[in-house]
Amino acid sequence: MKRLLNHPFRYGLIAAAVVALAPAAVLLIFRFVNPPASAFMTITGNRLQDQRPQAEIVHRWVDLDRIAACMPLAAVASEDQTFPSNHGFVWSSIERAIRHNANGGAVQGASTMTQQTVKNLFLWPAKSYIRKGIEAYITLWMDLLWPKRRIMEVYLNIAQFSDTAFGVQAAARQLFQTTAAGLSRRQCAALAAVLPAPTQHNAARPDSYVAGRQAWILQQMRHLGPHYLDRALDEG
């Protein structure tokens, strides 16, 4: 046993432990310190520098208390209605997506808002099993270390809402000439409607796709009710 714990093996164990625990350490910091940027912002900024050097990423952090209450509700209605009760994953949705993809259909995801927050904050956009595996591992830590309130706050502050606007405050300014606190229910629903493809659609000038999703999201918001997130967002 002592031979197994000689220098190379011991150092390997230490290195593996450091790598395994690094996400937890970073998440503990970001639970209390607002991340200055995200991986997606950096990737998008680099791409814009190559394609449109004059374009700049716009990002303004705003605390959850200064975001209109309709925005978290619209995001949940659009992206993850199980958010208040799930623990980072919705296994039934994952199983359905796996079966659908195995049958040769268009590739479907099954990401919760926690998974999306992990992906946007730390990872890259390409779909691969390696990335999904890393995403799942960090999601476990995020669900363990962050309250729902913090997940929602970070999600809304790093989500991409247009080709250059990241975070709801920047999007509100750029698209509606208002603040995150001043957004109306229809504007919140429009912003949530473009989340799946923010570079292809404009929340301020909705095409038929966005208008249809906006109407559906507003309907879901009414169905969920104004207090749907109260308990979850009272955490932390």
Contact 111, 155 (CB under 8 A): no
What pLDDT does 36 receive?
94
The predicted structure's pLDDT at residue 108: 44
- Report yes or no: 81 and 220 within 8 Å, Cβ to Cβ: yes
Tell me the C-alpha distance between 67 and 179, whole Å. 8
Residue 19 binned pLDDT confidence (cut-offs 50, 70, 90): confident
Query: What three-state secondary structure class fits 71?
Result: helix
* Statement: residue 107 has pLDDT above 50: no
Domain with 66, as residue range(s), is 60-233
Is 137 within a domain?
yes
HSE on the CB side for 23, CA within 13 Å? 20
Q: Which two tokens stand for residue 8?
A: 């190379």
Report d(CA 221, CA 76) in Å as an integer.
Answer: 9
Q: What is the pLDDT of residues 27-80, one digit of tens each?
A: 999 999 999 999 999 999 999 888 888 889 999 999 999 999 999 999 999 999
- SS3 call for 58: strand
DSSP conformational letter for 181: T
Residues 114 and 14: their CA atoms lie apart, in Å, by 29
Evaluate whether residue 52 is within a structural domain.
Answer: no
In a domain? residue 34: no
The tokens for 192 are 């949530």
Q: Is residue 85 part of a domain?
A: yes
Listed in sequence order, the residues at least 6 apart from 202 whose beta carbon sits closer than 8 Å to its beta carbon are 162, 175, 194, 210
Q: DSSP letter string over 173-218?
A: HHHHSS-STT--HHHHHHHHHTTT-TTT--SSS--HHHHHHHHHHH
* Positive or negative torsion for Cα 19, 24, 141, 36: negative
Residues near 110 by beta carbon (within 8 Å), at least 6 away in sequence: 90, 93, 94, 96, 97
Domain-located, residue 149: yes
User: Across the chain, what does the average pLDDT equal?
Assistant: 89
pLDDT one-digit tens code per residue, 129-188: 899 999 999 999 999 999 999 999 999 999 999 999 999 999 999 999 999 999 999 999
- For the chain, the domain total comes to 1
State the DSSP string of 11-41.
HHHHHHHHHHHHHHHHHHHHHHS--S--HHH
Do the domain assignments include residue 217?
A: yes
CATH assignment at residue 212: 1.10.3810.10
Is 100 a domain residue?
A: yes
Q: pTM for this one?
A: 0.90
Q: What's the chain's Rg over C-alpha atoms?
A: 19
Q: Which residue has the higher pLDDT, 107 or 65?
A: 65
Q: How far is CA 43 from CA 5, 124, 225, in A?
A: 41, 8, 37
Higher pLDDT residue, 182 or 2?
182
In contact, 60 and 169? CB cutoff 8 Å: yes
Predicted pLDDT at 17 = 73
**Any domain includes 111:** yes
